[in-house]
């Protein structure tokens, strides 16, 4: 791909050296950006840059886009960011070697213009794009790549990306062949290894090496840092921020993508992120026209905005099921030694597959879709939602709701009903338990309330308790003091490798029974084997078959009872060109460099 720029100008090397020599000074000034005035000159002083050409519609330059988000980013440092609100901003200013195209869900070249894989699948050779510069004008080369991987793999930095870069128990080995070629060795053949490099941001060595050596890397690039302290390879660069209110990014004049007409991207001059504390406030502000793009809309607010759509200057888009899946699961941990017998007895119910199957059969998934999501969700019987088009197993059975059959299963498992119609176990103890979920997450609370009512028909007494996110995770993963939980998982790139931690019995997010030393059940052992095997299989079709089997095992044994996959709902002001939201994350902003205003809307804020 993109071989058309292979014969890059030689003149560039001299310039590279020149700037590299002066770059050690922290006060290095930003070189004057190339002129942007008219289209014919949009290549400015950057002749010979090995550009990537976007296939999207050719647009108009200028204007700003206001994006409204639910939380302020906690940091602008890609090495330590874990929350969505930080990542949404950071990834407008950063770039990776290989990128997963959010629309096709396949990998495509980014800062690496091409890559080669050795026949044994363990060696990757990246050819870097020539003439690429950071947003402060400093050239990007193989040393930056080496530095970036060194940072990500440093244990002291504790980057969340570190786990991904350890394959077969060993960190990947990165070597520089020349200024434009980098070689990466992995310890064992690794399926879809090129997907590993997605969202590993390439860092500017000239700015970050000093703080890294001083052990201050995780404190750099906080929200309060001055604009000169930042440099990235993304379409925008940090300009200014107002605490609690907004972060302003401006066009990166050195960006390495161009459109088909040869104009340098991005089209927009400014990208403004504003923050409101709640989902409802987000919808109200969008409705009043204070923002151009809103993502992660709840179905309820989508309905409110939808009703008004014809009167207002915005359009709403329902992209159908995303990668998120919401499910119910029971605590299957070993009871703690000093746990009261009442708790231990409950755990024995939850460990019976017939019990879980009965619960699954009694839940009205269609009702959940209708009530909690106002129809904007898809019922699930397996954990991979249909939005994950490459991996979903479409042949899983979808048993309809049947209280009758659920009762038969419970009977088979030794449960009975007393005179009041309450379900009792073989010792005559009534089946009562609590479902915990996130406080403030309306949909999950509604799901729990619907489940409560459905299970009442089986004679189970369920109560619903909401907990603050941190308290909830602490109970689930650390103290194991809960009985059942409604939770959601998602994000990631859809590849099974991104969920290794969930499905491996030793994984620390193996929610129902995390961190096991030995698989507790035979089906967990089988899932372990399948997941490990697909991890090192390079044949995509075989991997799909292996993962299909995992989905089957999960659907049969129901460690998690998949319920629904919410639809991806976004809204945008009318007249935004190339606006094609995706179901993968960064839904509306994945192609922000291609977005443009068809014509300036008269009331657009400047």
Partner 1 sequence: MLGLLGLVYLSAVFAGFLAPDDPATQNRDLSFAPPTRLHFGDGTRRLHVRPFVYGLARSGDSDAYVEDRSRIYPVRFFVRGVPYRVAGIFSAERHLFGTDRPGRLFLMGSDEYGRDQFSRFLHGGQISLFAGLLGAGLSLGVGMVLGGLAGFYGAWVDETIMRVAELFLALPWMYLLFAVRMALPLHIEPTEAFLLVLAVIGLIGWARPARLIRGIVLSAKLRDYVAAARSLGASDLYLLRRHIWPQVLGIALTQGALLVPQYILAEVTLSFFGLGVGEPVPSWGNMLASLQRYQVLSSYWWMFVPGLALIPVFLLYYALADALHQRAAALSL
Query: Given the rule CB under 8 A, which residues bind partner 1?
Result: 280, 283-284, 300-301, 303-304, 307, 364, 367, 370-371, 374-375, 434, 436, 439, 442, 446, 449-450, 452-453, 463-466, 481-482
Place of tokens 């755990």: 347
For partner 1, the closer of residues 254 and 512 by Cβ is 512
Smallest distance from the beta carbon of 457 to partner 1, in angstroms?
Answer: 11
**Min dist. Cβ of residue 277 to partner 1 (A):** 13
Residue 97 or 283 with smaller CB distance to partner 1: 283
Shortest distance in whole angstroms from residue 570 CB to partner 1: 17
Closer CB to partner 1, 268 or 484, in the complex: 484
Question: Whose Cβ is closer to partner 1: residue 319's or residue 545's?
Answer: 319
Q: Find how far residue 223's CA is from the centre of its chain.
A: 22
For 220, the token pair is 């750099």
Q: How far is the CB of 296 from partner 1 (least distance, A)?
A: 15
Cβ atoms of 473 and 482 closer than 8 Å:
no
Nearest distance from residue 333's CB to partner 1, in Å? 16
| Residues 114, 127: Cα–Cα separation, whole Å | 5
How far, CA to CA in Å, does 534 sit from each of 335, 425, 540, 565? 32, 40, 9, 24
Query: Would you say 284 and 99 are in contact if contact means Cβ atoms under 8 Å apart?
Result: no
Q: What's the burial of 245, exposed, middle or buried (CB within 10 Å: 0-12/13-18/19+)?
A: exposed
For residue 127, CA distances in Å to 98, 121, 183, 188, 350 come to 11, 17, 9, 22, 53
Scan for tokens 């192609």, then name that residue.
591
Q: How far is the CB of 276 from partner 1 (least distance, A)?
A: 12
Name, in order, each residue with C-beta under 8 angstroms of 424's C-beta and a sequence gap of 6 or more.
415, 416, 417, 418, 430, 431
Least Å distance, CB 485 to partner 1, is 11
Assess contact for 181 and 126: CB atoms under 8 A: yes
For the chain, the first-to-last Cα distance in angstroms comes to 38
Rounded Cα–Cα distance for residues 542 and 106 (Å): 17
* Whole-angstrom distance, CA of residue 207 vs CA of residue 158: 20
What is the rounded distance in angstroms from the CA atom of residue 26 to the CA atom of residue 209?
Answer: 11
Asked whether the beta carbons of 276 and 246 are under 8 A apart, the reply is no
Residue matched to tokens 């394959």: 167
For the bound state, the minimum distance from the C-beta of residue 347 to partner 1, rounded and expressed in Å, comes to 15
- The least distance separating partner 1 from the CB of residue 323, rounded to whole angstroms, comes to 25
Burial class of residue 601 in the structure, from the number of CB atoms within 10 Å of its CB (0-12 exposed, 13-18 middle, 19+ buried): middle
Comparing CB distances to partner 1, the nearer of 389 and 401 is 401
Q: Dihedral of CA 500/506/510/515: which sign?
A: negative
CB of 568 to partner 1, least distance (A): 18
Give start and end residues of each alpha helix (H) in 233-313: 279-287, 299-308
Residue 301 vs 360, nearer CB to partner 1: 301
Based on CB atoms, which residue is closest to partner 1, 371 or 403? 371
- Please state the closest distance from residue 471 (CB atom) to partner 1, in A: 9
DSSP structure class, residue 447: H
Residue (186 or 436) nearer to partner 1, CB: 436
Around Cβ 583, how many Cβ atoms within 10 Å? 24
In the bound state with partner 1, the residue whose beta carbon lies nearer, of 42 and 446, is 446
How far apart are CB 286 and partner 1 at their closest, in Å?
A: 11
Collect all residues with Cβ–Cβ distance below 8 Å to 63 and sequence separation of at least 6: 267, 268, 269, 270, 596, 597, 600, 604
Q: What is the C-alpha separation between 486 and 472, in angstroms, rounded?
A: 11
Q: Which is nearer to partner 1, 214 or 453 (CB)?
A: 453
Tokens standing for 64? 């700003």
Q: Give whichever of 128 and 283 is closer to partner 1, judged by the CB atom.
A: 283
CB of 464 to partner 1, least distance (A): 6
The CB-of-567 to partner 1 minimum distance in angstroms stands at 14
Strand partners, 384: none
**For partner 1, the closer CB: 79 or 283:** 283
Report in angstroms how near the CB of residue 467 gets to partner 1 at its nearest. Answer: 8
CA distance 5 to 50: 5
- With the CA atoms of 322, 327, 332 and 333 taken in that order, what torsion angle do they form, in degrees rounded to the nearest 10? 60
User: For residues 358 and 409, is the Cβ–Cβ distance under 8 A?
Assistant: yes
Question: Which residue number, 37 or 341, has a Cβ lying nearer to partner 1?
Answer: 341
b/e string for 41-78 if b means 16 or more Cβ within 10 A?
ebbbebebbbbbbbebebbebebbbbbbbbebbebbbb
Distance separating alpha carbons of residues 530 and 354, to the nearest angstrom? 24
**Closer CB to partner 1, residue 197 or residue 329?**
329
- In the complex with partner 1, the residue whose CB is nearer, 219 or 308, is 308
């Amino acid at each position: 791909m993109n071989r058309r720029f292979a014969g890059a100008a030689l003149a560039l090397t001299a310039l590279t050296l020149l700037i590299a020599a002066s770059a050690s000074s922290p006060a290095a000034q930003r070189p004057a950006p190339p002129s942007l005035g008219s289209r014919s000159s949009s290549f400015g002083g950057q002749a010979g840059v090995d550009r990537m050409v976007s296939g999207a519609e050719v647009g108009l330059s200028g204007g700003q886009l206001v994006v409204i988000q639910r939380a302020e980013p906690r940091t602008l440092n890609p090495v330590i960011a874990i929350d969505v609100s930080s990542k949404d901003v950071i990834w407008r200013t950063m770039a990776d070697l290989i990128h997963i195209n959010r629309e096709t869900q396949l990998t495509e070249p980014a800062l690496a213009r091409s890559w080669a894989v050795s026949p044994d699948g363990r060696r990757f050779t990246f050819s870097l794009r020539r003439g690429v510069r950071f947003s402060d004008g400093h050239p990007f080369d193989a040393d930056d790549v080496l530095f970036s991987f060194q940072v990500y793999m440093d244990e002291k930095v504790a980057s969340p990306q570190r786990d991904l870069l350890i394959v077969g128990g060993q960190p990947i080995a990165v070597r520089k062949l020349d200024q434009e070629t980098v070689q990466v060795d992995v310890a064992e053949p690794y399926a879809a290894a090129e997907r590993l490099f997605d969202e590993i941001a390439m860092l500017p060595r000239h700015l970050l090496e000093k703080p890294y050596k001083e052990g201050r890397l995780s404190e750099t690039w906080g929200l309060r840092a001055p604009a000169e302290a930042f440099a990235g390879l993304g379409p925008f660069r940090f300009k200014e921020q107002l605490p609690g209110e907004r972060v302003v990014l401006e066009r990166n004049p050195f960006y390495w993508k161009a459109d088909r007409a040869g104009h340098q991207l991005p089209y927009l001059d400014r990208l403004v992120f504003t923050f409101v504390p709640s989902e409802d406030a987000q919808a109200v502000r969008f409705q009043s026209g204070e923002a151009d793009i809103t993502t992660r809309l709840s179905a309820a607010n989508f309905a409110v905005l939808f009703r008004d759509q014809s009167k207002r200057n915005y359009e709403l888009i329902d992209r159908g099921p995303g990668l998120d899946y919401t499910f119910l699961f029971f605590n299957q941990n070993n009871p703690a030694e000093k746990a009261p017998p009442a708790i231990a007895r409950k755990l024995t119910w939850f460990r019976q597959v017939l019990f879980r199957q009965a619960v699954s059969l009694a839940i009205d998934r269609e009702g959940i879709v209708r009530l909690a999501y106002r129809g904007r969700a898809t019922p699930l019987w397996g954990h991979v939602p249909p939005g994950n088009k490459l991996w979903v197993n479409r042949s899983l059975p979808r048993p309809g709701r049947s209280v009758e059959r659920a009762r038969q299963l419970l009977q088979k498992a030794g449960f009975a009903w007393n005179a009041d119609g309450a379900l009792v176990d073989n010792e005559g103890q009534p089946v009562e338990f609590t479902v915990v979920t996130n406080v403030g997450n309306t949909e999950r609370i509604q799901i729990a309330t619907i489940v409560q009512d459905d299970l009442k028909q089986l004679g189970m007494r369920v109560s619903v308790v909401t907990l603050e996110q941190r308290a909830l995770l602490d109970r689930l993963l650390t103290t194991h003091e809960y009985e059942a939980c409604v939770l959601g998982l998602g994000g990631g790139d859809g590849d099974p490798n991104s969920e290794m931690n969930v499905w491996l019995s030793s994984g620390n997010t193996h929610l129902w029974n995390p961190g096991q030393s030995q698989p507790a059940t035979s089906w967990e052992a089988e899932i372990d084997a399948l997941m490990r095997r697909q991890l090192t299989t390079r044949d995509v079709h075989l991997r799909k078959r292996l993962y299909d089997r995992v989905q089957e095992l999960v659907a049969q044994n129901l460690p998690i009872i998949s319920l629904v996959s919410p639809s991806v709902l976004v809204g945008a002001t009318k007249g935004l060109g190339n606006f094609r939201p995706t179901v993968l994350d960064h839904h509306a902003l994945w192609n922000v460099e291609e977005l443009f205003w068809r014509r300036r809307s008269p009331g657009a804020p400047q």
